[in-house]
Amino acid sequence: MSKTIGLITANYASEAMNAVMTDRPLAALPFGGRYRLIDFPLSNMANSGITSVGLVIPFKNRSLIDHVGTGKAWGFGRKTHSMFMLPGSVYGKRDTDSKFLLRDIIQNARFFNYEQTTDYVLMSGANRVISMDFRPLIEQHEASGVQITKVYKGKEFLDIFIMDASFLNDLCKWFSNLDFMDITKIIDTYLPETPIGRYEYIGYEHKIDNMTDYFEASMELLKEDVQDMLFEHGTVFTNIQDRCPTFFAPTANVKNSLIAAGSSIEGNVENCIIFRSSHISEGASVKNCVLMQHAEIDSGAELKYFICDKRVHVTSDVKIIASKESPYFVKKGMTV
Amino acid sequence: MASKECIAMLLAGGQGSRLGVLTKNIAKPAVSFGGKYRIIDFCLSNCINSGIDTVGVLTQYKPLALHRYIGTGEAWDLDSAAGGASMLPPFATETGGNWYDGTADAIYRNIEYVDGYNPEHVLVLSGDHLYKMDYNDMLRVHKDADADLTIAVYEVPWEEASRFGIMSLDENGRIGKFSEKPKKPDSNLASMGIYIFRWDVMRAALIADHDDPESEHDFGKNIIPMLLGQGKTLIPYRFEGYWKDVGTIDSYFEAHMDLLDKGLGTQLFLEGMPVFSNSNFYPAQYLGKKASVTNSIVSNGCSIKGSVTHSILGSGVQIGEGAVIEDAILLPGSRIGKNCRIKKAIINEGVHILPDSVIEDPDGQILVIGANSKFAG
């Protein structure tokens, strides 16, 4: 039986997002009420039977390491299922243009060499909301005889590909002087004759590179078909926090929203994503908002198209009416 | 030999027959409570929050779901190498095997397990009570008084005292008399079924009790009177927080309504020590465009398109459009079809209610809809 190991690259941030939100790698971006973006590729690996996963982490890795821990929530961190933290070779990229740096592979060569019996390496970025079973991809790649198979949805490359471990090994030797480049770009530029397999993905996915993407992907979660595609085909695992269920007060009025556990809702909520342990007071009104963990919205506050990072407090009677085209952002820990 | 100051023995083997269909397939401590919890979560969480990291869980009646749920005890941090949670169902020995015959007998048959930890004290708990308690404080009281047995007591209304095991105190504030469900109670201090014994005293009492052919091998009926007769030091530990034995449909329903009406939810879940549970991974709950949810507790993974008021919804509950749910407890995984009307009912785990069903008792009785069935009203 062939063996596939996984590699998730998480050593890039989005400058556009960090300008308005807390500085963190995209992989650690909170999403969908109780997830972070890293949950999607990690869960995909776990749900596809991959037992050994490397996670390339950036220099600013606290939030990411805090979240994934040993990988136990995803079924890793065990004797037979392991997740390895692989320090990224650069300080951490400020953009998402290059995700699969050759030097990250070279620097962590021991991870790959340690897995002597590896046939294939399956790589995934960490800036997409996607719930994908990799097993058909592995099967197609194995049957095809090509050395690399990339995953597309239509014209878009989804930052997911699988390659022969021997080919990756060769690239590391041949191109060590170009190690600042992205593996896929090295192949495109210097090995244009390489046959590249193509795997067509048909499920839901959403790229998140900037705040517009983030807001759009968040709002898409309110569509039931999107919920079905993301959550019905395999569990999306995340860090468990043992929050109690959510309380809805007699005055609560909630429509078309996702609410995470540990929250307390007394006011009006419509078209919102509310993260864990948030509190919407009686008489407050939030519409088309994304409120991250521990949001505290006081009575009389009125928010539209408002996105806030963790632990934001909106005081009484504050009105912030933004628009879909330019939502209003508030950084972590601020009081408005 | 390494020794522990105190380990816990958690009695979780009872059938809980008064909970009817809710315990048809699972033991009472495994019954769902408060949306995402199971009754036993409270005791297990109390243990770890009190620094007790060794818990023997005595099981007997339909233990499979309970064993699977507790697993290694990891969800409660009870998977420590130095102790942790151990499932203790009845077992066979070279002289045959027996079912546990009473609460004291269950622990008697596991004397070797307890001896393995060489504890000074043993905390005995019931896995079907709802409360938050720092057992460490009780242990401190027990040690300070140099007691042989400390019993947690709860002040109940005098008119209800005859339903409980009642402790009467002597002039020194020690327990002088124990009466099981007395007709004319002379005290309103009810035993909560939470005991801390000195292990050497308990061990000797269990062996003596085992050899007594007349004994029912029950802590309340036999062990406590025996120790009183021997002149041992028994003291009360007064507890004043919320405590409920959710042993009947009425009390189970009432405890849920207390979560909403009496601020119990806040008291149990938000204040003080956390309650841990072995929950599954669910996405955040979704409330649809036509949903209305008021005065309710809703767990992760729910999808609500109808109207819900004054109800408790477990993990992954689905409610169809047009359904109206009031004063109901919907246990995890239950699904309510479109346009159903449910009032004052308990819907068991995984039960599907077909569209347009009406579940409401004309006399206002609590209706309980059983396990793994489809139901049309």
Per residue in A50-74, pLDDT (tens digit) is: 999 999 998 888 889 999 999 999 9
DSSP character string of A69-96: TTSGGGT-SSSSSEEEEEE-SSS-BSSS
Confidence of residue B359 (pLDDT cuts 50, 70, 90): very high
Report the Cα B61 to chain-centroid distance in Å.
Answer: 15
Task: Tell me how many helices (H) and strands (E) chain A has.
Answer: 10, 26
The CATH number assigned to the domain holding A282 equals 2.160.10.10
Q: If you write DSSP's letter for every residue of B295-346 in order, what string do you get?
A: SEEE-TT-EE-SEEES-EE-TT-EE-TT-EEES-EE-TT-EE-TT-EEESEE
pLDDT of residue B2: 66
**Band of residue B14 on the pLDDT scale cut at 50, 70, 90:** confident
- Please check whether residue B328 is in contact with residue B314, taking contact to mean a CB–CB distance below 8 angstroms: no
Mean pLDDT (chain B, rounded): 92
Kindly report the CATH number assigned to the domain that includes residue A87: 3.90.550.10
Burial class, A232, CB count within 10 angstroms (exposed 0-12 / middle 13-18 / buried 19+): exposed
Distance separating alpha carbons of residues B186 and A119, to the nearest angstrom: 78
CA-angle at A323, arms to A248 and A258, nearest 5°: 25
- At B284, the amino acid letter reads A
Interface of A with B in 33-72 (CB under 8 A): 33-34
A84 & A190 share domain:
yes
DSSP code at position B186: S
Q: Are residues A160 and A258 in the same domain?
A: no
Model pLDDT for residues B20-43, shown as the tens digit of each residue: 888 888 899 999 999 999 999 999
One domain for residues A288 and A152: no
Three-point CA angle B36, B39, B41, nearest 5°: 75
Residues A183 and A278 grouped into a single domain: no
User: Is the same domain home to A126 and A266?
Assistant: no
Confidence of residue B375 (pLDDT cuts 50, 70, 90): low
E strand spans, B1-93: 6-11, 32-33, 37-38, 54-58, 84-88, 92-93
Integer Cα distance of B106 and B104 in angstroms: 5
**Domain co-membership, A39 together with A125:** yes
Residue A244 touches partner B, C-beta closer than 8 Å? yes
Is the minimum CB–CB distance between A261 and chain B shorter than 8 Å? Answer: yes
Q: How far is A214 from chain B (nearest CA, A)?
A: 17
For residue B245, what pLDDT is reported?
85
Is A261 within the bounds of a domain? yes
Pairing of strands A246-248, A82-87: unpaired
Identify each DSSP E strand in B102-210 by its residue range. 121-126, 129-131, 149-155, 165-169, 175-180, 189-198
Tokens in use for B70? 């507790």
Residue B227's alpha-carbon distances to A35, B203, B204, in angstroms, are 55, 12, 10
Contact B299 A236 (CB under 8 A): no
CA separation, residue B206 to residues B179, B212, B233 (Å): 20, 10, 17
Residue B211 reports pLDDT greater than 60: yes
Residue B236, classed as helix, strand or coil, is strand
Residue partners of A268: CB distance under 8 A and separation at least 6 = A253, A254, A280, A284, A285, A286, A287
Smallest Cα–Cα separation from A100: which of A59, A61, A54?
A: A54
Closest approach of B340 to chain A, Cα-based (Å): 20
Those residues with Cβ within 8 angstroms of residue A30's Cβ, 6 or more apart along the chain or in another chain: A36, A275, A292, A293, A309, A310
Contact A247 B279 (CB under 8 A): no
Q: Do B283 and A236 touch (CB under 8 A)?
A: yes
User: Would you say residue A238 lies in a domain?
Assistant: no
Got the DSSP string for A267-315?
Answer: SEEES-EE-TT-EE-TT-EEES-EE-TT-EE-TT-EEESEEE-TT-EE-
Residue A226 inside a domain? The answer is no
User: For residue A238, which residues of chain B lie inside 8 Å, CB to CB?
Assistant: 281
Report strand pairing: A156-164 vs B329-330. Answer: unpaired
Q: How many domains does chain A divide into?
A: 2
Asked if the C-beta of B98 comes within 8 angstroms of chain A's C-beta atoms, the answer is no
Could you tell me how many residues make up chain A?
336
Give the pLDDT score at A114: 56
A271 touches chain B (CB under 8 A): no
What pLDDT is stored for residue B175 in this prediction? 94
User: Domain range spanning residue A252?
Assistant: 247-330
Residue B315: C-alpha distances to residues A103, A261, B282, B293, B329 (Å): 45, 10, 8, 15, 12
CA distances from B254 to A59, B245, B289, B312, B329 (A): 53, 11, 31, 12, 11
DSSP string, A146-164: -SEEEEEETTEEEEEEEEE
Answer yes or no: do B299 and A261 touch at CB < 8 A: yes
- Tokens at A105, concatenated: 């592979």
One-letter identity of residue B175 = I
Give how far B89 is from chain A: nearest CA, Å: 28
Structure tokens at A19: 């300008």
Instruction: Flag whether A237 is in a domain.
Output: no
Helix (H) or strand (E) holding A328: strand A328-330
Q: For A167-189, how does the pLDDT look when each residue is reduced to its tens digit (9 = 90+)?
A: 998 999 999 899 889 999 999 99
Answer for the pair A104, A11: CB distance below 8 angstroms, yes or no.
Answer: yes
Q: Is the dihedral of CA B312, B314, B316, B318 positive or negative?
A: negative
Evaluate whether residue A259 is within a structural domain.
Answer: yes
Same structural domain, A155 and A205: yes
Whether A58 and A202 share a structural domain: yes
Q: Are residues A76 and A192 in the same domain?
A: yes
Give per-residue pLDDT as tens, B237-284.
999 988 988 889 999 999 999 999 877 877 788 777 899 999 888 999
Burial A147-174 (b: 16+ CB within 10 A, else e): bbbbbebeeeebbbbbbbbebbbebbee
A135 assigned to some structural domain:
yes
Residue A119 is assigned to a structural domain of this protein: yes
Low-confidence spans in chain A with pLDDT less than 50: none
Are the Cβ atoms of B284 and A249 closer than 8 angstroms? no
Q: Which helix (H) or strand (E) holds B294?
A: strand B292-294
Helix (H, G, I), strand (E, B) or coil at B20: helix
Check residue B160 and give its pLDDT.
Answer: 87
Both tokens assigned to B270: 């938000």
Residues B274-326 have pLDDT tens digits of 999 998 889 999 999 999 999 999 999 999 999 999 999 999 999 999 999 99
Query: Do A174 and A289 sit in the same domain of this protein?
Result: no
Going by pLDDT thresholds of 50, 70 and 90, the confidence category of residue B181 is: confident
Our measurement of the distance from residue A155's CA atom to the centroid of its chain's CA atoms, rounded to an integer in Å, reads 21
Per-residue model confidence (pLDDT) at position A29: 92
Flag whether A146 is in a domain: yes
β-strand partners of B294: B309
Q: Write the residue in B279, B289, B298 that is nearest to A246 by C-beta.
A: B298
The last residue of a domain, from among A190, A210, A230:
A210
A244/B300 CB distance under 8 A: no
- Name the closest residue on chain B to residue A274, using Cα atoms: B284
In order of B34, B252, B259, B260, the CA distances from B266 in angstroms are 12, 18, 8, 9
| Neighbour count for residue A202 (Cβ, 10 Å) | 9
Asked which of A188, A210, A232 is the last residue of a domain, the reply is A210
A100 shares a domain with A200: yes
This prediction has a pTM of 0.90
A251-269: pLDDT as tens digits: 999 999 999 999 999 999 9
Query: Which positions in chain A touch B263 (Cβ < 8 Å)?
Result: none
Beta bridge partners of A31: A35
Same domain for A197 and A306, yes or no, is no
Q: How far apart are CA A265 and CA A284, in angstroms?
A: 10
Pairing outcome for strands B37-38 and B312-313: unpaired
Question: Which range has the worst mean pLDDT, B13-17, B54-58, B87-91, B334-338?
Answer: B13-17
